[in-house]
Amino acid sequence: MSHTSTCAVFTPLDIAILTVSDTRGLDEDGSGNLLADRLAGAGHRLTERALVPDDIYRIRAQVSAWVIRSDIQVVLVNGGTGFTARDNTPEALTVLFDKVVEGYGELFRLRSFEAIGTSTIQSRAVAGVIDRTLVFSMPGSPKACAMAWDDILTAQLDARTRPCNFVAMVVKDSQRCTSRSADHHVASDTGKTARHEALEVTP
């Protein structure tokens, strides 16, 4: 079970949101709005936001343009993860991944199963790393986006989450993950130092 380190520092990330839809515009983009609110509430920064139709090459072009930028560390893609003829997000993204984050899709479907049962088998949420940029896709419904953020991403994009998180992968010189015992030792050493300094100034 993950926990929050008492000695790590929160690191805000620069995040872009891409909505994939043939029917929505930015004015009707409830899922994009939800993700923007969630990431801001968690202390991260919304760098850019876009909406493209469910077309493999439009999706791929937008994500490719973002991952080469130094001011974007995470891309959140919502929509296009189902099985209809116009659901093309996984096909657009997977060829770009240097590494696939298999556990994201597995965990998303596990959490989704608790809410919608076997219908979750039709969700093809995928995630991966492209040149030190994290890309997470999710279904286009606000409930699915809320679940992805609240149950998975909010912790994994927090440098304080232990035993591990993704922040060190995208932020150079950030603190690496440590174990619970390491946090305990740091806390113990800090306590010892404080007690020692107190003894030195005690008459």
Is the bond into 163 cis (omega within 30 degrees of 0)? yes
- 70: tokens are 């130094």
Please give the average per-residue pLDDT across 110-136, as a whole number.
Answer: 95
Residue 185: HSE in the Cβ half-sphere, 13 Å Cα cutoff = 5
Report the candidate in 190, 194, 155, 154 with the shortest Cα–Cα distance to residue 7.
190
For residue range 52-65, list pLDDT tens digits in order: 999 999 999 999 99
For residue range 71-107, list pLDDT tens digits in order: 999 999 999 999 999 999 999 999 999 999 999 999 9
